[in-house]
Structures are given as C-alpha cells and as structure tokens.
Amino acid sequence: MDNLTRRRFLTMSGATAAGALAVGATQVSWSDLMGAAVENPLQSEDSVLVVVTLYGGNDGLNTVVPAGDPEYQKARPDLAYEQNEVLDLGDGLGLNPGLKGLKGLWDDKALAIVRGVGYPQPDRSHFRSMAIWQTAAPKSPVPTGWLGRWLDATGADPLHAVSVEPTLPPLLAGATTAAASLPVRGLKLPSGKVGTAFAALGKPSPGEEHWQAQAAKSLGDLQNAVRVLGGAVHDQDERDDDEDEQKTKGASAGGGSQLGAQLDLVAGLVEAGVPTRAYSVSLGGFDTHADERGTQERLLAELDGALTPFVQRMRKSDRGRQVVVLVYSEFGRRVHANGSDGTDHGTAGPLFMLGDKVQGGFYGAQPSLTDLANGDLVATTDFRDVYGTVLRGVLGADGERILDGHTGNIDGLLKV
C-alpha cells in the first residue's frame, strides 16, 4: 500500500502514534543508561529538555486567568475566577489557585509563560490536534514526532530521548529511531529454572516474523533492566489512585497519572548523569466538558505538586540546572462556558517553560477576548516558535531542518 493510504488508515484508526507504531519502542535497560552514564556522562553544560504533555485539552483561560477582564467574566459567569481568587502575575492576569508552587517559581523568575500558543487552522479533535503538536506538522499528517526527527538527526541513538510512560508517545518516534522507554514501577523476575528459561526466550531467532522478533527483543531488554535495577530501586507498591468523581470528570481523552513519580524517575536519571537529553512525561484528565472548576483546579494542583519540587530539586545540582521543562496541551477550550459548567474543545492556550535556564516572565501577546474566530481565541504565537527556540537553545540542534523550514523563535526566552 502506498504511504498516503497507510497514513490515512492510521489517522482514521485513531492511532496518533503512527510513527511510534511503525518503528516500535526501544526498551532501553538501566544497564545501558547507567553504563552510558559512566562511559559518556552528560556534560554539565549539556542542557536537558523535559516535555510534560497534558492530555485532554487544558483550559488556558482558567489556567492563566484574565480575571479582571469583564469580557472573561461575561463569557463564563459560573466558571470564571474572581480577581481575588487568582494568584496575581501582573498584566491583568493571574494563575489558577491550584498553581501555588508555580507562583513561587514565577516570583523567582524561573517560570516563563508563553501566551496564546497554537497553530494555523485549529482542529478540535483531541487525536488530530495532539498529533499536530507532537509531530509539529499542522498541514498534513507525518509519521514522525518532532523530537523523533531530532533523534534521527543526532546519530540515531535511542538513549538520547527517554519516555517515562507505559507506551511511547508519537513525539519521540523518528523515521529510523524511536526513543527508549522506561517504566516507573519496579521490575522483579523469578530466579532459578523459571528465570533462566524466561531469560532464554529473549534471544533472537533467525528469520523470525517481525512482531515475534519484537516480542523476543523486549524480553531481552527486560533482562538487562532487571539485572542492574535488581528490582529494588523503584520497586514501589502500586499506589491507589485517589479516583473520585471530581478527578475523573475529564478523563475521556487519555494521558498518564502520578506525574510526581514520573518526574522523580527523571530527576534520578539526570542526577546520575545519564546522557539522555530529552524526556517525556504526561498527565491526563483535562477534557473538562462539565463541572470544570473543581476538576481542573485539582489537576492543576497535581501538576503544581509534581513540577514545583522537581524544578527545585533540579536547581540544586550542576546537571539539574541545565534542565528546561516545557508544559503544553493539545488545545485550549472555548471562551464561552457550555452550559454544563464546562467548556468544549477550543484553540490557543498558554504554554509553560520552567527551569534555571529560563528567563521568567510573559512572552507572546494575550489573545483578545473580543476578536474571536468562531467563538475561539486566535493564536498569537506559533507553537513551532517554541519548538525552534528549544531545539536551538536546549538541544543545540538545527531547528529549521527539524521543523520543515520553520524559522520562528521566541527571543529572550532562554538565558544565553
């Protein structure tokens, strides 16, 4: 079948991870990572990017809130925050009350807020919009993620990017290389005869069918991981996710949970000097079509409770100070509430950048609440400007090549 048919098929199948499915995730072991940390450690001048994906479409207007704007109050009377409820940032904007730690980082000039970020001709499908963000290709579907193409361009080493999620997100799938993935929870295998036999299943078998060979490879990689990890380092009990109605109200669009545990693992890897330059973590539940305020505030508090200690921890070491965090969602939501005290799928939203290398403050213009396109905010900043800035300033890469000729940049966002 030709490429276009295949792409169309994958798109219509709801599989946004077209590239990831084609290449398959490399399951990297701790021994690979730790060995690399010894042989070829992360140089303390090498910056590291941590991408946090918020699945479901986070409501930007209730995250960075124009509480003093009467148009905002008018558009969503029951959903709006009053001025005295939000954490004042200046410029008539305030942070959602769930983001108290981030307010502290803002005051420390370690939080940058890029306003009105989006892409041309917004698509309101979760799956398509997320694919656009992750592939950085707003015009037509492509099978590779933007960091996947960076991986391809930097010598095709899967160790350069690591996903701390059970399945590989499309942004880390390249044409020839897919990022490695590491589970957050511990790995423990039986010893004795069963252990030996199970390990032997991981050997390659000549001429084996593609998927069977992949299955064997994953078992082989698992052995390495367990050998180094010994089942001890991260052998956490499965924590009960506190799953109440408020928290799960926006859960129909996917994403991870326990962001704090994911970021703990990343922090450990950075501090150990693992030569990984890009990490991907996620948090789901932002599809707040109904009773949004409580649900979103709670999710933002979870984000805040995971990000704040992570950024503070990273500021304590030379390697950690090179870490830059990027937080985005596939779209913002409508300006007007929908009558179920929620909001439907919208367009542009704010994007956060955090870390010591970030020059705190506002970037990009706040979208107008009166000059709307079909009831939606008009983006003021192209998301590829942020990617270009990060590719050049954090990963030292040729952003234009990776972003299909896009040259935009956000001046001053990163300290030189």
Residues of this chain, 58-117, that bind other proteins according to CB under 8 A: none
Q: Is there binding between residue 407 and other proteins (CB under 8 A)? A: no
Q: Which residue number, 12 or 232, has a Cβ lying nearer to other proteins?
A: 12
Residue 291 CB, nearest distance to other proteins (Å)? Answer: 8
Q: Which of 275, 257, 354, 371 is nearest to 315 (CA)?
A: 354
Residue 361 CB, nearest distance to other proteins (Å)? Answer: 35
Q: Which residue number, 20 or 102, has a Cβ lying nearer to other proteins?
A: 20
Q: Which of 278, 251, 316 is nearest to 158 (CA)?
A: 278
As given in the structure block, the two tokens for residue 95 are 């942070």
**What mask of x and - would describe binding to other proteins in positions 174 to 193, judged by CB under 8 A?**
-------xxx-x-xxxx--x
Among residue numbers 278 through 297, which ones bind other proteins (CB under 8 A)?
284, 287, 289-290
Residue 160 CB, nearest distance to other proteins (Å)? Answer: 19
148-156, 194-202, 263-271, 273-281 -> range binding other proteins (CB under 8 A) = 194-202
Residues touching other proteins: how many (CB under 8 A)?
84
- CA–CA distance, 136 with 139 (Å, rounded to integer): 9
Residue 339 CB, nearest distance to other proteins (Å)? Answer: 2
Q: Which residue number, 18 or 48, has a Cβ lying nearer to other proteins?
A: 18
Q: Which residue number, 43 or 340, has a Cβ lying nearer to other proteins?
A: 340
Among residue numbers 230 through 249, which ones bind other proteins (CB under 8 A)?
238, 243-245, 248-249
H/E run at residue 114: strand 111-118
Q: Which of 127, 121, 125, 124 is nearest to 139 (CA)?
A: 121
Residue 87 CB, nearest distance to other proteins (Å)? Answer: 27
Among residue numbers 334 through 363, which ones bind other proteins (CB under 8 A)?
338-342, 344-345
Among residue numbers 30 through 49, which ones bind other proteins (CB under 8 A)?
none
Residue 54 CB, nearest distance to other proteins (Å)? Answer: 14
Beta bridge partners of 161: 278
| CA torsion through residues 170, 136, 309, 48, sign | positive
Q: Which residue number, 69 or 221, has a Cβ lying nearer to other proteins?
A: 221
- CA–CA distance, 20 with 283 (Å, rounded to integer): 19
As given in the structure block, the two tokens for residue 77 are 């009377």
13-21, 34-42, 154-162, 347-355 -> range binding other proteins (CB under 8 A) = 13-21
Q: Which residue number, 127 or 362, has a Cβ lying nearer to other proteins?
A: 127
How many residues are listed for the chain in this entry?
A: 416
Q: Which of 212, 307, 218 is nearest to 264 (CA)?
A: 307
Residue of 214, 312, 317, 368 that binds other proteins (CB under 8 A)? 214
As given in the structure block, the two tokens for residue 33 are 């990572």
- CA–CA distance, 170 with 152 (Å, rounded to integer): 14
Q: Is 237 helix (H, G, I), strand (E, B) or coil?
A: coil
- CA–CA distance, 85 with 67 (Å, rounded to integer): 9
Q: Which of 355, 351, 357 is nearest to 396 (CA)?
A: 357
Among residue numbers 294 through 323, which ones bind other proteins (CB under 8 A)?
none
The whole-angstrom distance between residue 17's C-alpha and the CA centroid of its chain comes to: 14
Q: Is there binding between residue 3 and other proteins (CB under 8 A)? A: no
